[in-house]
Amino acid sequence: MWERIRDEVLERIQNRVWRPGDLIPNEEDLAVEFGCARATINRALRQLSDDGFLERKRKAGTRVALTPVRHARLSIPIIKDEIESSGANYSYALIHRGIAVVPTHLALRLKMDSALCVQALHLSDGQPYLYEDRWISSTALPDVLQESFENISANEWLVRNATYSEGEIAFQAEAATKRDSEILNVKEGAPLFVLERTTRGDEGVITWVRMAYLPGHRMVSPI
Amino acid sequence: MWERIRDEVLERIQNRVWRPGDLIPNEEDLAVEFGCARATINRALRQLSDDGFLERKRKAGTRVALTPVRHARLSIPIIKDEIESSGANYSYALIHRGIAVVPTHLALRLKMDSALCVQALHLSDGQPYLYEDRWISSTALPDVLQESFENISANEWLVRNATYSEGEIAFQAEAATKRDSEILNVKEGAPLFVLERTTRGDEGVITWVRMAYLPGHRMVSPI
DNA sequence: GAGTGGTCTAGACCACTGT
DNA sequence: CAGTGGTCTAGACCACTCC
């Protein structure tokens, strides 16, 4: 029912019955029109508001957004699923694991002097797919020092063992460094799609990761 | 009230009172615990489920997600706002406007033979910021041929005049072409963050756009 | 002050799905 | 079949904010 209402309202917006900036009828009137309770109308309109199609204010009423759809919901790759869903065979290779001093360009973000560095390559049908460079705080997660990461990816280990509270994710294009190029088997300077993710717990950064995709990778989302 | 419940449940997940994969109490029991109606519990849990923290199934109950937070909500840039929110001055320059045959690499996606091509540069404090290459279907939007796009960006015009229904957005890294490099004033081959967006109405593609950012651009989202 | 959306309640029925 | 979440209702009060 609320979905029917949501779709009907969306259609009116898309067919310009209600145009960007227009005020639409209030919940009570719509409830009468659709022959349902106000709560049901509220459910439908709240969804459309969350999705960016409507803007709602008390007393001022509900308006069609001037800039429809301002958000895209990107699914963050769980690499294994991402590769297997394309029908390919997933594998994982540990490249490096060791306690190290955090590079200066990261030190500010991480606010820790030394951490466990885990570097790994994710492969699709045996071909390089993604190079993961991860730093894990051994202060926040002392247990991490017991794990070899030879058979389990850092991602999976963290999901099972870490208590996180918030973080950020960033996307950008970077030229392949010498190391990137050797590991991913591409030319130095090739344009790489890079995802950086910082995860924090209650007491500061738990982990920071840079994931560099093979050139040509696209991250797609319906809108 | 429902926000208090949401936060409390989230805290229990983050403090591992309820661990990934665990079944949590059903709505009725939680309603008793929190001293509220079941609908209020439902509201809180539905939100957490939408956000990817919980997985809910009828009869099976509610479990803590094994892969917490699988989604990032990216705000799609309204270029003007994006630049002005950084405190810089926004300007816009039309580079090219004309009816043209759609390049073959686009023809499949667009399914139209000829279209209006609008190319423009968005500037931040007078410096190149983003190169926009857009194709607009003149079949779907005959009015577009009357617009010069000298004083209004295609983006803004489309928001006001187009009826869209759905689309996709894709992000990737690309090496700057010769044309990119001339317009953005960067080296040929520089890694560009590129956003492609296809927008469809009821009768096919309305517009396709490629937006190439200056090297170094980051798209960031809280998680 | 008054109109609007935001939320809560108590109760009900239904749809799905694990057993 | 039975337990769980999904939804709907009718009514209520409240918070915000425009006038």
Give pLDDT tens digits for B36-55: 999 999 999 999 998 889 99
Q: What are B66-69's contacts with CB under 8 Å, separation 24+?
A: B66/A159, B66/B20, B66/B21, B67/A78, B67/A159, B67/B20, B68/A159, B68/A164, B68/B13, B68/B20, B69/A76, B69/B223
- The residue of A169, A192, A205 whose CB has the most chain B CBs within 10 angstroms, and thus the best one to mutate to test that interface, is A169
Does A194 sit within 8 Å of B173, measured CB to CB? yes
Q: Shortest CB distance from A223 goes to which of B167, B172, B218?
A: B167
- Indicate whether A51 pLDDT > 70: yes
Average pLDDT rounded to a whole number, residues A172-195? 96
Burial class (CB in 10 A: 0-12, 13-18, 19+), A89: exposed
**Angstrom distances, CA of residue A59 to CA of A63, B111, B172:** 12, 45, 43
Does B197 sit within 8 Å of A191, measured CB to CB? no
- The predicted pLDDT at position B214 comes to 94
Q: Shortest CB distance from B166 goes to which of A193, A217, A223?
A: A223
- Give the tokens for residue B40: 């209020």
Q: Which residue has the higher pLDDT, B58 or B111?
A: B58
Average pLDDT rounded to a whole number, residues A60-66? 89
Average pLDDT rounded to a whole number, residues B142-165? 82
Q: B69 falls in which pLDDT band (50, 70, 90)?
A: low
Residue of B nearest to A81 (CA): B67
Contact by Cβ (8 Å): A122, A130: yes
Residue nearest to nucleotide C4 (CA to C1'): A59
Burial class (CB in 10 A: 0-12, 13-18, 19+), A178: exposed
Average pLDDT rounded to a whole number, residues B64-77? 76
- Give the tokens for residue A191: 């344009």
- Torsion from C-alpha of A175, A177, A179, A180, nearest 10 degrees: 0
Does A191 sit within 8 Å of B216, measured CB to CB? no
Q: A205 falls in which pLDDT band (50, 70, 90)?
A: confident
Q: A69 falls in which pLDDT band (50, 70, 90)?
A: low
| Secondary structure letter of residue A53 according to DSSP | S
Contact by Cβ (8 Å): B94, B154: no
- Indicate whether A7 pLDDT > 70: yes
- The predicted pLDDT at position B152 comes to 83
Phi-psi region of B50 (alpha: psi -120 to 50; beta: other; left: phi over 0): alpha
- Give the tokens for residue A210: 């840079």
- Indicate whether A177 pLDDT > 90: yes
pLDDT tens-digit readout, A135-168: 998 888 888 888 888 888 888 788 777 777 788 8
pLDDT tens-digit readout, A104-146: 877 777 777 778 999 999 999 999 999 999 999 888 888 888 8
Q: B126 falls in which pLDDT band (50, 70, 90)?
A: very high
Q: How many CA atoms lie within 13 A of A137 on its CB side?
A: 24
Residues of chain A found within 8 Å of residue B205, distances taken between Cβ atoms: none
Does A72 sit within 8 Å of B169, measured CB to CB? yes
Which nucleotide in the DNA or RNA is closest to residue A31, CA to C1'? D9
Does B165 sit within 8 Å of A171, measured CB to CB? no
Q: Is the CB of B2 under 7 A from strand C?
A: yes
Query: Which of B's residues 10-69 have CB atoms within 7 A of nucleic strand D?
Result: 26-28, 38-39, 42, 45-46, 49, 56-62
Nearest to B194 by CA among B178, B217, B166: B217
Q: Which residue has the higher pLDDT, B205 or A185?
A: A185
Q: Which nucleotides of D are covered by protein (CB under 7 A)?
A: 2-12, 15-18
Does A164 sit within 8 Å of B174, measured CB to CB? no
- The predicted pLDDT at position B20 comes to 86
Residues of chain A found within 8 Å of residue B193, distances taken between Cβ atoms: 171-173
Contacts of A41 (CB under 8 A, 6+ apart): A2, A5, A27, A30, A31, A34
- Indicate whether A101 pLDDT > 80: yes
